[in-house]
Each structure stands twice: as C-alpha cells, then as structure tokens.
Amino acid sequence: MANRTPGIYNELFGQLPIPERLEPENIAAMLSEYAASSENASKRADKATAKRAAPIDISAGSRKTGNSADIGAGRRTSPVYRSVASIAACAALALGVVGYLNSGRAPLPEENPNPGGAYASDYNDVHKTFAKYYVDDEDKRTLDSAIEDIEHSYNGNEMDPSQVNEPSQDTPAETEAASPAETTAPDTSSTDVQTQTPPPEETEPADTPATPPAQEDDGPVTVEDGLPIPPNDAVVDTSDTVFGNGFMLRQDGNILRIITTVNGITVYTDNIFPSYEGFSSKTLAGFYADGSKAIAVYSVVTGETPAVESQPRDGVVGGLLDSLYGPEEVPVEKPRSAVEVCIYDIADGLAYLGSDTVQGGSLINMNYVNGALYLVTAYDDYRTEPIAGVDDLENYVPTYTVNGNKFYVSASDIMIPDYISNTDYTVISGITADGTVSVKAVLGYEGRVVMKNGAVYLFSYDNSAGTDLTSVRVFSLAGGNVIYAGYTDIEGVALGGDGIASFGDAVVVTAIRKSEGAYITSLGVYDGTMNFISGFDYPAALTSAKRVGSKIILSGIGGKCVADLSNLSVPSVTEGEPAKNPAEGLLSFNGGYVTLTKNASGQIELSKLADDGIGGLVLISKTLVCAENGADSKALENNGILFVSGDTVGVPYGFFDGLDYCYRYAIYRETPEGFALIGETEVHETDKTFEYGEAILNGGVLYIMSEGRVSAAVVGNSLAVISSADIIEGSHSAHR
C-alpha cells in the first residue's frame, strides 16, 4: 500500500495536459513578463518612498465605479509557477481537477496600470485568481507576519548590531531597552467585531486654573489626599437607548423594548425579538432609530451549511466494512457567520418588519449615516469543499440575501488586488432605510479596517520587489452606495494594535521601514483621502503602538516614545514614559471635572475638581449626597453615568433601609457656594432591577433609566416626574 500511492498520482499527473503557457517556448516570454512586472513594482516602491503616501482624489469626477474598464483590466503578474505536477496537486486539493482544467489554459492578465486592483470582468476572472493563488510561488505574507519577522530579528539578535540605531542625540536619554513583554507582537484579535469604543479624548486644561474657595474644615485637597481617580473607561455609555420620532428603543439583552414618548408621556408598547430558523444563534450587535424606522443588527452563527466527516465504524464487522468501503461519512453541520439587518416600521408603538438583509461573514464594523447602514464583514468561513469549477459560486463568491432571496456578489463588484495574502474577502455593503442594498467585495482580508462616516479604509500588505509597503484602499460611503475611491501605498509595514488609528477626520498610521540597512519607525498623519499631513521618524524599530487619549505610545527593543497628536498638523514627540494625566477618566464639567466618590465614613460625596496649573488637580467644592450606611450608586463604578449639562449634575443612588430598597435620583446645580440640591425623585422597591442608572435628555425631557422602568421628568427650579413606563412588573413596596 505504501508504494501504491505514488503510482496513482504519477498516473494521474501523467494524464494532465500541460498548460500552453508552460510549454518550453513560452517560458522565456513568461520570465520577460514577470521582469517587466517587477520593474513596475519597483517604481511603485520608489514613489511611496519619495512622497510617503500617494494622494487620493475622491471628488465626484475622479471616483472609480464598478466598471473594470475604468479601473484597469489586469493585475500584477505572479512569480513563475512551479512544475506541472505541483500545479496539478495544488489545484486538485484547493480547486478540484475539473475547475483547474477549465481555467488553466487562460492567458495571464496583463500588467495593471492601477496597482490598487481591478474589478473582475466575470466570475471566470475570480476563479482564475483562486487557481493562481494556490499554485503561486510568491510568499503569502500579511502585515502581522511582516512585523513579526522584524521583531524576531531584534529579539533573536539575528541582525547586524550596526543596524540597531541609537536614539537621536537631540532627545533625552531615557532610552533603556524595553522588556521582552513590551516587544511581543501586538494582539490584533480585537479587530473581529471591531466595535469596541476607543478611550476618551483627553480634555485640555482650562486656560486659567480655577481658584478653590475656602473650605470650612480641611482646606484645599489634592487628589493624593484621597480622592480616587475613576478608571480610564469611565465614559457615559448611552448606547443601550436610542430615540426615534415619538418612541425610544431600549436594549435588554437580545430584545429591544419599544417605549412610546409623546409629550413626555411614556408607555411600554412592544418588543423586537430576533427570529430563528433552523440551528442558529443571534446576538444583538447594534441598533438604530431613524424617524419612524427601527434598525436591528444581529451577529448570526448558523450550522445550516451541510458538510460531512469520516467516522470509523465500531467493532470487528465495522472494521471490515471500513477496509472495503472506507470510513462512514456522517453529515455534520459546519457553523457559518453572517450579519442580519432587520428594518422595522414603528406605527402606534408597534413594530412591523419591512425588510430583512443577511450579509455573509463576521461583523467587523458598522455605522449608520444619513439614512443608510454601512456594514463591513470578513467573509472567511464559506469554503465547504474544493471548488468544482467556475459555476461553483457557493464555494468562492460571497453571498447575501434580501427578504429571503439569495444573491451572489456580482463579479463586477468584486475587486481583485494585485497582491493577496489569503482568499478571504472583505465585504462592504450599504443598506438604506427602505431596504435597498449595495454590496462590494475585496479579495484578501487582513483584519485592518478603519471606518468613518464617509469612508472605509482597508489596509493590507504588499511586498513590492522586496520593498515592504502598506496598501490602502478607500471606499466612499454616500446615499447607501459603496464606491471605490482610490488607492495608495505607505512605505513600511504598519504596526498592529493602534498602529492604524482614527483621529477625528484623520487617519494615523505608524509603520516600520528600512533606510540604508537600518529600521526606522515612521508615524504619518493622513487626511480623509490619505494625503500626507504631518509626521515624524524615530531611529529604531518600535513594534508596539498603544493609544491613550490623544497620545500614541510607541515601544520596542529600540526604545520608547510618546506622540502627542493634540495638534495633528504638528505632532510632538517625547522619549520615555508618557506623563500621567491626573484628569484621565474624569467627567468634564463646567470648566473642571466632576466625580462621585465615597469618603472614609462610607458616605457618598459629589466633588468638583480643576487643574492646579502644575500637573495636578485641586478640589473646588464637594457636597454630601447620602449619609446612609451602605449607600451605593452605579456612578461610583463609572462616573460617566452621571448626567451633566451646563452647570447641572444628575446623581443616581440608593440604599437598603431594613425593609426595602430606597432608590433616588437627585439633581444638583453648581452655585458660587458649591453644589445645591434642586430636587429629587424617590421610589421604594423590593427588586434591584429598579435601581436608577443613566439619564438622557431628549426633546427637553429628562428620561431617567433603570432596568425595569423609564421615568420622564422635567428640570427647572425643581425636578418633576411626568410619567413612568414599567418594562417589567413593578415591585412597589407598601413602605414609604
């Protein structure tokens, strides 16, 4: 049996016809074509070096559409193929022999005048790219693997010592080598639903530090005297409540509660539940309200894709059957990921499903802008078996459904870059509130996506003629349409983590590049069309980038520095550890900061602080909120839950009085003498789900939230509750 297999393969390969382009007389032409391709690639690398980034024009007149003739009909020629046997083996494994024979004789595409890639002319064009990928000799490197190679060279001391640059003599000498932990490759797994909220922007200090008033007992108190600083993520999060015309949506796990809000009268009227078909699980990933529309977005994992696996039979008879017929093939369900978008019409407080769109792939990011939802997914788990041929679209073309009707992304909407590190897709779609869908797909996905209100930026790796480049493709988003807007190269390999970050309207990219045999870390600030604005070079390889507010901390075996991007036009750079911001995580309030804390006696206090002008904070005023023993507040764990507007602060708190829970929401207003209580509302419950949390001001009405109830109130010289809507049955206590 051991000698039989090679004979089978030799016989199989001997029967395969040799593709025309691999006949001996065509090899010379192929080598010549590749040499020309490499020369063009070198010119691209030189251009990126000279300009650091090629500008992109996304004005209406220069935008490219789905017509491949507008963008360029070809792609960069791949390196010379391996032997015929290698081609046949790889093609048989990855594409199926039939699919290979159907496309193997197609001529190689010509050099692409637009290096960003081209939209496919038909599915055969896509299929040929898959065939080339699996038999291509070119190294399939990603941004992450390129950085790991650089980092390994440092950690493994494989580089010539002369290539490790010394820090500039013009900067301070705080350049001790980072620990090995600081030089490990950054974890980029967060890019999967990359929907995490970035750290808050740092608040600039007031021009003139406030002067603390006289204190009755202890005088001015600094932070070091006992006022704790809340964690950096203490930011108000109202993402679990959004408002439409006359209603609000409030999240409760995977359920959306609909509460009508007319003239301050709140009534709980309906629920939106995810629907399930077959074996699937759904997680509410986001939701929006627009006029009378409600949009729910679910991450879906389903096992509806059929697959089989070999399973040996039991017993002696089973073993005999296995030897005669092979192991038994048992049907199994292979999980696949998708994103479902349900758009509802809200009428009289009730939800009516208007459209249902399902986009294949794992959710990467989403944004709702001007009546349209834009989705980015990684389409990477679609393969169930070798591709049988061009017509086997299910196994190599992204899919989506609209109201139950299944579609494959049109070939003319699939972009094929000149270099891909894998055969996964990045899929971008625009879905309008009336259910109209526009879908584009880009072959090759590396997990680096920046999404803004008007554009999506896809970052990938391109080793052009031995020069490492970070490729950027830009798609503009407008009116529910996804339009390819252009392409540029950034010299160097972009770092993981926050090596690619969004700062307002700008994109900041930190990359490592080589210059005269030595590594240099370059930080560049680019505008929305990837035109270079500003930047700096650091003379060493820094492989870790971490964003903290308006700063990016860069570190590696070559040193550590901090880039302050408060002014994007002129970023400042300092070496060593970043200076600690004493106000980090505090909630800005009326020229200073406000925080809710407990004193040494366990009493809840509301305090205002301000910058002292010398890098610290000073207490301006404080007031006792609750002296009850055991009092608590959700805002103690997250000061961002406090409601802040002008000189007004809303504070939730509660305590157990021995019989039930007393929950209060208090409104304070700042006066020259300190905080003054304006008014408060109080309920007595036996269930903690009625504990007050955040409050949202909408249409002049303050909606005070708890898990079990929404209360509507108005704030003037007092606090007056207009109405309340119970989401769950109240647990009102008779005790008052």
- pLDDT tens digits, one per residue of 541-598: 898 999 988 899 999 887 899 999 999 999 988 887 777 777 777 889 999 999 999 9
Residues 638-657 have a mean pLDDT of 94
Assigned domain for 600 exists:
yes
More confident of the two residues 13 and 114: 114
Given a cut of 60, whether residue 67 has pLDDT beyond it is: no
Mean pLDDT is lowest, of 235-239, 407-411, 521-525, 727-731, for 235-239
List beta partners, residue 295.
288, 343
Q: Are 242 and 289 in contact (CB under 8 A)?
A: yes
More confident of the two residues 441 and 97: 441
pLDDT score for 732: 61
Q: How far apart are CA 222 and CA 403, in angstroms?
A: 61
pLDDT score for 48: 61
Given a cut of 80, whether residue 55 has pLDDT beyond it is: no
Assigned domain for 577 exists:
no
Residues 17-33 have a mean pLDDT of 52
Which of 578, 534, 489, 615 minimizes the C-alpha distance to 224? 615
Residues in Cβ contact with 682 at an 8 Å cutoff, skipping those fewer than 6 apart: 662, 663, 664
pLDDT score for 38: 55
Q: How far apart are CA 717 and CA 696, in angstroms?
A: 19
Which of 404, 489, 493 minimizes the C-alpha distance to 145? 493
Position 420 confidence tier, pLDDT thresholds 50, 70, 90: confident
pLDDT score for 274: 93
Position 148 confidence tier, pLDDT thresholds 50, 70, 90: confident
More confident of the two residues 255 and 320: 255
Q: Are 36 and 30 in contact (CB under 8 A)?
A: no
pLDDT score for 239: 58
Position 434 confidence tier, pLDDT thresholds 50, 70, 90: confident
Q: Return the half-sphere exposure (C-beta side, CA atoms, 13 A cut-off) of residue 174.
A: 10
Residues in Cβ contact with 420 at an 8 Å cutoff, skipping those fewer than 6 apart: 129, 133, 140, 443, 444, 460
Give the residue numbers spanning the domain of 696.
586-726
Given a cut of 50, whether residue 13 has pLDDT beyond it is: no
Give per-residue pLDDT as tens, 172-216: 333 333 333 333 333 333 333 333 333 334 443 333 333 333 333
Assigned domain for 534 exists:
no
Position 463 confidence tier, pLDDT thresholds 50, 70, 90: confident
pLDDT score for 616: 85
Given a cut of 90, whether residue 31 has pLDDT beyond it is: no
pLDDT score for 66: 34
Given a cut of 50, whether residue 514 has pLDDT beyond it is: yes
Assigned domain for 693 exists:
yes
pLDDT score for 139: 67
Position 166 confidence tier, pLDDT thresholds 50, 70, 90: very low
Q: Are 99 and 391 in contact (CB under 8 A)?
A: no
Considering the chain, what percentage of its residues have pLDDT values greater than 70?
67
Given a cut of 70, whether residue 678 has pLDDT beyond it is: yes
Q: Return the half-sphere exposure (C-beta side, CA atoms, 13 A cut-off) of residue 605.
A: 18
Q: How far apart are CA 651 and CA 638, in angstroms?
A: 12
Q: How far apart are CA 694 and CA 633, in angstroms?
A: 11
Position 91 confidence tier, pLDDT thresholds 50, 70, 90: very low
C-alpha radius of gyration, the chain, whole number:
31
Q: How far apart are CA 327 and CA 535, in angstroms?
A: 61
Please give the DSSP secondary-structure letter assigned to residue 390: T
pLDDT score for 20: 55
Given a cut of 70, whether residue 256 has pLDDT beyond it is: yes
Give per-residue pLDDT as tens, 264-319: 899 999 999 998 877 778 999 999 999 999 999 999 988 754 555 566 767 767 77
Q: How far apart are CA 437 and CA 479, in angstroms?
A: 11
Amino acid at 487: Y
Q: Return the half-sphere exposure (C-beta side, CA atoms, 13 A cut-off) of residue 376.
A: 28
Residues 522-541 have a mean pLDDT of 92
Strand ordering across the sheet containing 448-451? 448-451, 455-464, 467-478, 481-491
Q: How far apart are CA 533 and CA 568, in angstroms?
A: 8
What is the CA angle 449-67-442, rounded to 5? 25
Q: How far apart are CA 451 and CA 457, in angstroms?
A: 6
Given a cut of 50, whether residue 389 has pLDDT beyond it is: yes
* Alpha-carbon separation of residue 37 from 31, 210, 470, 513 (angstroms): 10, 65, 19, 23
Burial class (CB in 10 A: 0-12, 13-18, 19+), 15: exposed
Assigned domain for 631 exists:
yes
pLDDT score for 428: 97
List beta partners, residue 140.
none
Which of 598, 620, 626 minimizes the C-alpha distance to 608? 620
Residues 105-125 have a mean pLDDT of 63
Q: Are 591 and 191 in contact (CB under 8 A)?
A: no
Give per-residue pLDDT as tens, 591-602: 999 999 999 899
Given a cut of 60, whether residue 92 has pLDDT beyond it is: no
User: Average per-residue pLDDT in the chain?
Assistant: 75
Residues in Cβ contact with 560 at an 8 Å cutoff, skipping those fewer than 6 apart: 174, 175, 178, 182, 542, 553, 554, 575, 576, 577
Residues 28-40 have a mean pLDDT of 54
More confident of the two residues 473 and 116: 473
Structure tokens at 465: 């003629």
Q: Are 124 and 106 in contact (CB under 8 A)?
A: yes
Which of 736, 733, 717 minimizes the C-alpha distance to 671? 717
Q: Are 202 and 584 in contact (CB under 8 A)?
A: yes
Q: Are 433 and 295 in contact (CB under 8 A)?
A: yes
Assigned domain for 682 exists:
yes
pLDDT score for 135: 73
**How far is C-alpha 462 from the geometric centre of its chain's CA atoms?**
22
Structure tokens at 604: 């809840």
The CATH number of whichever domain residue 644 belongs to comes to: 2.40.128.630
Give per-residue pLDDT as tens, 478-499: 999 999 998 899 999 999 999 9
Assigned domain for 289 exists:
no
Assigned domain for 487 exists:
no
Overall domain count for the chain: 1
Residues 692-704 have a mean pLDDT of 94
* Alpha-carbon separation of residue 511 from 54, 178, 714 (angstroms): 16, 19, 52
Give per-residue pLDDT as tens, 304-331: 545 555 667 677 677 776 676 667 666 5
Burial class (CB in 10 A: 0-12, 13-18, 19+), 702: buried
Position 705 confidence tier, pLDDT thresholds 50, 70, 90: very high
Position 101 confidence tier, pLDDT thresholds 50, 70, 90: very low
pLDDT score for 374: 96
What DSSP line would sit under 251-304, residue for residue? Answer: EETTEEEEEEEETTEEEEEEEE-----SSEEEEEEEEEEETTEEEEEEEEEEEE
Q: What's the farthest any 2 CA atoms get from each other in the chain?
A: 98
Q: How far apart are CA 480 and CA 372, in angstroms?
A: 5
Q: Are 357 and 341 in contact (CB under 8 A)?
A: yes
